[in-house]
Amino acid sequence: MTTRALVLGGGGPVGIAWECGLIAGLDAAGVKLAEADFIMGTSAGSFVGARLAMGVEPKTLAGAILAEAERARPAAPANGASASERPADTSALMQMLSGEGMAGLSPQETMQRIGAFALGAKTMDEDAFIATFGKSFSTLPPDAWPERGFACTAVDAESGEFRLWTGEAGVGVTRAVASSCSVPGVYPPVTIEGRRYIDGGMRSGTNADLAKGYDKVLIVALRIGGTGPAAERAAQRLASEVEALKSAGAAVEVITPDEASQAAFGPNLMDFRRRPDAARAGLAQGECEAERVGGFWG
């Protein structure tokens, strides 16, 4: 029997919206990604993947984000967006991810440097982050985990060690996913079993090489657009992960944002105001890609 893995990459709140729309568009066209034997998410993908693995219908995932466009917003001040609406400044993190000031460091040392930055950053309180972020998981017991095969990624902020959270780890999905979404400098590191964890996207935007062992692997990746050192590194990393999967015997297909989706994202994937447009673009792309993806997914 052919086994299938779905890998969902990172991309901030905008990425969550686009992935939800994409999956809903594919689902409406008969391509059921929720039927994957294994779903692995990094950062934004961990949130979407967890909800999908827990049985939330794709149309429900997308519908909740599309509904944001209908909510009344306070009038913007004359000088532009209010402070609460402005997207988070990730420039310092992007410099680190581009390798600036990291010459000669090993991958783990690089993660330690980013972890130290995250631990020292002024962000919202961790409990407030969990309470806000965890609304989608608020009815679950603290140790709940999806019954369908699911995993998400994180990095130990102090040691720099990479961590793959699975059901066997005994960690609740709420904190595991929150740790995977803890963008350094934007959100606080998340405490799990006495350790502090940050975004799994610091190792890779997709971490797709961890899906070895499945016959088919479908990768949804956001962090390969644009230009500059960080984008180049992300593209190279994704290419190496695809090659690793193929070398292990897997058939691999990759979905990345089309031009309309990239235009909908805007310049900052942390800009919550872009979410409805990103979800709509994802829906449209999912419908357009259904024949290609469906032929692969089966």
Instruction: Spell out the SS3 assignment of the chain.
Output: CCCEEEEECCCHHHHHHHHHHHHHHHHHCCCCHHHCCEEEECCHHHHHHHHHHCCCCHHHHHHHHHHHHHCCCCCCCCCCCCCCCCCCCCHHHHHHHCCCCCCCCCHHHHHHHHHHHHHHCCCCCHHHHHHHHHHHHCCCCCCCCCCCEEEEEEEECCCCCEEEEEHHHCCCHHHHHHHHCCCCCCCCCEEECCEEEEEHHHCCCCCHHHHCCCCEEEEECCCCCCCCHHHHHHHHHHHHHHHHHHHCCCEEEEECCCHHHHHHHCCCCCCHHHHHHHHHHHHHHHHHHHHHHHHHHC
In the annotation, is 43 catalytic? yes
In the annotation, is 156 catalytic? no
- Given 27, 156, 199, 277, the catalytic residue: 199
- Given 43, 179, 182, 204, the catalytic residue: 43
Residues with catalytic function: 43, 199
